[in-house]
Structure 1
Amino acid sequence: MIQFGGGYCSSVTVLENRELTVLDPRTDEVVGRVPIATPERCDEAVASARRAASDWARTPAAERGAALHAAAAAVREAADELAALNSRETGKPVEDARGGVDAGIGTLVQYAELGPVHRGRSLHGAWDAADLMVPEPRGVVAVLTPWNDPVAVAAGLIGAAVVTGNTVVHKPSERCPQTGRRFAELVAAALPPGVLEIVDGDGAVGARLASAPVDVVAHVGSSATGRAITEACARTGARPLLENGGNDPLIVDAGVDPGWAAAQAALGAFANAGQICVSVERIFVHAAEADAFIEALVGEARQWADRIGPLVDRAHREHVHGHVQGALDAGAHALTGGAIPGGPGAFYPPTVLIGCVPAMAVMSEETFGPVAPVRVVRDFPTALQEASADRYGLAATVLTSDMEHAQRAWRELPVGTVKVNNVFGGAPGGASQPRGDSGSGFGFGPELLDEMTAVKVVHLAPAPRPT
Structure 2
Amino acid sequence: MDGIQQEASAQNMSGKRRGSPYQGRMLIRGELVESTGGQWFESINPADESIAGSVPKGTASDVDRAVAAAEEAHSAWAELSVARRSQYLMDLAAAIEARADEVLSLEVADTGNTVTGMRGDVTSCVERVRYFAGLGYELQGRTVPGNADKLQMTVREPYGVVGRIVAFNHPFAMATHGVATPLMAGNTVVLKASEQCPLSASLLGEIAAQVLPPGVLNVVTGDGEVGAALVKHPRVKRLSFVGSVRTGLAIQRSAAEVAVKSISLELGGKNPFIVFPDAPVERVAEAAVAGMNFTWQGQSCSSTSRLFVHDDIYDEVLQHVIEKVRSIRLGDPFDESTQMGAINSQAQLARVEEYVRIGQEEGARLVAGGVRPTGGAFGKGFWFLPTVFADVDYQMRIAREEIFGPVLSVLRWSDTDDVIRMANSVEYGLTGAVWSRDISQALQTARRLQSGYIWVNGINTTARAMPFGGFKNSGIGRERGLEDLYSYTEEKSIQVFL
The corresponding residue for 1:8 is none
Deviations 1:154-208 (A, max 9, x none): 2222111011110100011022211111123323432211111110011121111
Structure 1 residues 61-460: aligned runs within 5 Å? 61-213=82-234, 214-235=236-257, 236-269=259-292, 270-306=294-330, 307-342=339-374, 343-460=379-496
8 Å CA contact 1:23, 1:29 repeated in 2: yes
Q: CA deviation at 1:133?
A: 0.9
Tell me, what secondary structure is at the counterpart of 2:154? strand
**Distance in 1 between residues matched to 2:193 and 2:448, nearest whole Å:** 36
CA shift in 2, pair 1:188/1:249, >3 Å: farther
Instruction: Give the letter for the 2:317 counterpart.
Output: F
**Distance in 2 between residues matched to 1:283 and 1:70, nearest whole Å:** 43
8 Å CA contact 1:233, 1:239 repeated in 2: no
Instruction: Give the letter for the 1:339 counterpart.
Output: V
8 Å CA contact 2:451, 2:470 repeated in 1: yes
Q: CA deviation at 1:428?
A: 3.0
Instruction: Give the letter for the 2:273 counterpart.
Output: L
**Distance in 2 between residues matched to 1:120 and 1:260, nearest whole Å:** 45
**Distance in 1 between residues matched to 2:116 and 2:289, nearest whole Å:** 19
CA shift in 2, pair 1:401/1:118, >3 Å: same
The corresponding residue for 1:7 is none
The corresponding residue for 2:11 is none
Does 2:42 align with 1:21? yes
Instruction: Give the letter for the 2:288 counterpart.
Output: A
8 Å CA contact 2:171, 2:198 repeated in 1: no
8 Å CA contact 1:68, 1:187 repeated in 2: no
Deviations 1:350-398 (A, max 9, x none): 1110121223221111111111111111233222110011111111011
**Distance in 1 between residues matched to 2:104 and 2:114, nearest whole Å:** 9
**Distance in 2 between residues matched to 1:433 and 1:266, nearest whole Å:** 22
Does 2:79 align with 1:58? yes
Tell me, what secondary structure is at the counterpart of 2:297? helix
**Distance in 2 between residues matched to 1:36 and 1:47, nearest whole Å:** 19
Tell me, what secondary structure is at the counterpart of 2:152? strand
8 Å CA contact 2:295, 2:341 repeated in 1: no
**Distance in 1 between residues matched to 2:263 and 2:463, nearest whole Å:** 26
Instruction: Give the letter for the 1:383 counterpart.
Output: V
Tell me, what secondary structure is at the counterpart of 2:480? coil
Instruction: Give the letter for the 1:385 counterpart.
Output: R
Q: TM-score, normalised by structure 1?
A: 0.93
Instruction: Give the letter for the 2:383 counterpart.
Output: F
Q: CA RMSD in A?
A: 1.5
**Distance in 2 between residues matched to 1:25 and 1:322, nearest whole Å:** 19
Instruction: Give the letter for the 1:128 counterpart.
Output: D
Q: CA deviation at 1:427?
A: 2.6
The range that moved more, 124-133 or 75-84, is: 124-133
The range that moved more, 219-228 or 336-345, is: 336-345
Deviations 1:244-263 (A, max 9, x none): 11111111111112111111
Q: CA deviation at 1:323?
A: 1.1
**Distance in 2 between residues matched to 1:209 and 1:324, nearest whole Å:** 36
**Distance in 2 between residues matched to 1:318 and 1:305, nearest whole Å:** 22
**Distance in 2 between residues matched to 1:432 and 1:195, nearest whole Å:** 26
**Distance in 1 between residues matched to 2:417 and 2:206, nearest whole Å:** 50
**Distance in 1 between residues matched to 2:38 and 2:75, nearest whole Å:** 37
**Distance in 2 between residues matched to 1:122 and 1:437, nearest whole Å:** 36
**Distance in 2 between residues matched to 1:323 and 1:215, nearest whole Å:** 38
8 Å CA contact 1:188, 1:195 repeated in 2: no
8 Å CA contact 1:157, 1:444 repeated in 2: no
1:44 to 56, 65, 71: 65
Tell me, what secondary structure is at the counterpart of 1:54? helix
**Distance in 1 between residues matched to 2:210 and 2:145, nearest whole Å:** 43
How many residues are treated as equivalent by the alignment? 447
Question: Structure 1: which 4+ aligned runs deviate by more than 6 Å?
Answer: none
CA shift in 2, pair 1:188/1:111, >3 Å: farther
Deviations 1:20-56 (A, max 9, x none): 2211111111111222112211111111111211221
Tell me, what secondary structure is at the counterpart of 1:44? helix
**Distance in 2 between residues matched to 1:76 and 1:430, nearest whole Å:** 24
**Distance in 2 between residues matched to 1:153 and 1:132, nearest whole Å:** 34
